[in-house]
Amino acid sequence: MRTTSVNVRHRTTAIVMLAALIATLGVPVIRQADAVEPTPADAVVEWNTNAQVAIVGVAGQGPTVAYLHFAMVQGAVYDAVNAIVGGYEPYLGSPAMADPSDSAPAALAQAAHDVLVALFPTQQGVLDGKLTTSLAQIPDAGKAGGIEVGAAAAAAMLAARTGDGRFSPFTVIQGTEPGEWRSTAFTSTGAPVVEPAPWVGNVTPFIVPDVEALRSDGPNPLTSEAYAEDLNEVKDHGSLDSTVRTADQTEAAVFWQANQAVLFNALFRQLAGTQDLDIAEAARLFAMANLAAADASIACWNDKYYQRFWRPITAIRLADTDGDPATVADPNWAPLFSSTPPLTTPAFPEHPSGHTAISGAVVETLKNFFGTDKVSFTMFSGLSGTSREFDRFSVAIKEIIDARVWAGIHFRTADTQGYVMGRKVAHILERDYFLPAA
């Protein structure tokens, strides 16, 4: 059961809380039957942390793009480790020179380093230094072979992702008719702001054969009872001055607006320790979860720009144009997220929810990996400065679905359909990838 954070001692109105928060800016897993003691997951955790610093901390990438690059790093790490330790099918393939006597820590460090340097060449000096430090701590026996395996795994990943559609041109279409998305953010000159990475939906997926096959059912018709119910819920619970949203719900909304790739990769590192994963298990978990997240991101953004549905702030202010007698316009309505980025309405279409699609893929993958929903964990958000505790993965995803409504930026239908999309991605991954070797 999740609990409220002990870090927040005073509750106040939504606008004061937002200002303060923005300022602060045991279950077993299957082990390999090895003749020697399994290697701890320390190196996997170390290079996942290094990846986070490079991808988010230095490059400043948001979650939709960050997950693509986490997937590349962790996929290469997995193939490098698995080629040496064995036990599961490779993601792309096993480097031919791999030998069980090679150093798996050296292999994964080299693989992660090489992918990161290719992605962020301006960071090479720092990454070279981190690699030198990592390799210096590894015994010489098997180190050279491990380095060679890691370099080969990285090269295979980089070759596979060449020309995959990242950073490709994309024309953003905005509408003016009822239900059509239009940006709700503007520059100081009055020009509409649109997201920097709308192209994500056109990237070649990592595991899903065709993301268009995951298309959501779409938003509710504007004149339907379900649409009116969604609109009135977010109008009441997601407004800046809501009288029905609780202080804990306000905190949860801000908590989950932090960079999702950071939130979940921190969780993966935590689970590697609390669930006593070895190097092979951790490499597999980090790859599975990040690849699932990447494909959920791709599938969701592909659907977002297909549906192009308006955000609650637009829908509520223009409710007198939707043809639904059960909705009432409020031209002055503002969502809880009416502060400064990232506590604002996102500048891209509403349906389906990106957060719940990606979170759904991650949560379902974690459940599949551990073989249970019942795992306890704590998550910390640097945006809210608070921690929240959960005793099941499903409790976290339920809160995420609710939190997007409480924030005033999503209709519940977009949240639930996003989760379904993510769950489908996790199912494909479980069925087709990272399977035990024959």
pLDDT tens-digit map of 195-245: 889 999 999 999 999 999 999 999 999 999 999 999 999 999 999 999 999
Residues of the chain with CATH 1.20.144.10: 42-160
DSSP 175-190: --STTB-----B-TTS
DSSP 8-state class, residue 88: B
Q: Decide: 418 and 363 in contact? Cβ < 8 Å.
A: no
**E strand spans, 257-416:** 377-381, 386-390
Give the pLDDT score at 37: 61
What backbone torsions phi and psi does residue 273 show, to the nearest 5 degrees?
Answer: -85, -50
Query: What is each CA distance from 385 to 251, 340, 398, in whole angstroms?
Result: 10, 16, 21
**56: Cβ–Cβ under 8 A, 6 or more apart, which residues?**
66, 259, 261, 262
Radius of gyration of the chain (CA): 22
Residues of the chain with CATH 1.10.606.20: 179-432
- How would you class 206 by CB atoms within 10 Å of its CB: exposed for 0-12, middle for 13-18, buried for 19 or more? buried
**213: Cβ–Cβ under 8 A, 6 or more apart, which residues?**
none
d(CA 102, CA 149): 8
- Look up the CATH superfamily of 42-160: Phosphatidic acid phosphatase type 2/haloperoxidase (1.20.144.10)
Which pTM was predicted? 0.91
CATH number of 179-432: 1.10.606.20
HSE at residue 45, side-chain half, CA atoms within 13 A, is 17
Q: To the nearest whole percent, how much of the chain has pLDDT over 70?
A: 91
- Tokens read off for 85: 């330790």
Please identify every stretch of the chain with a pLDDT value under 70, giving residue numbers as ranges. 1-37, 188
Q: What's the per-residue H, E or C state across 23-80?
A: HCCCCCCCCCCCCCCCCECHHHHHHHHHHHHHHHHHCCCCHHHHHHHHHHHHHHHHHH
Give the pLDDT score at 433: 98
Considering only CA atoms, which of 435, 434, 422, 417 is closest in space to residue 393? 422
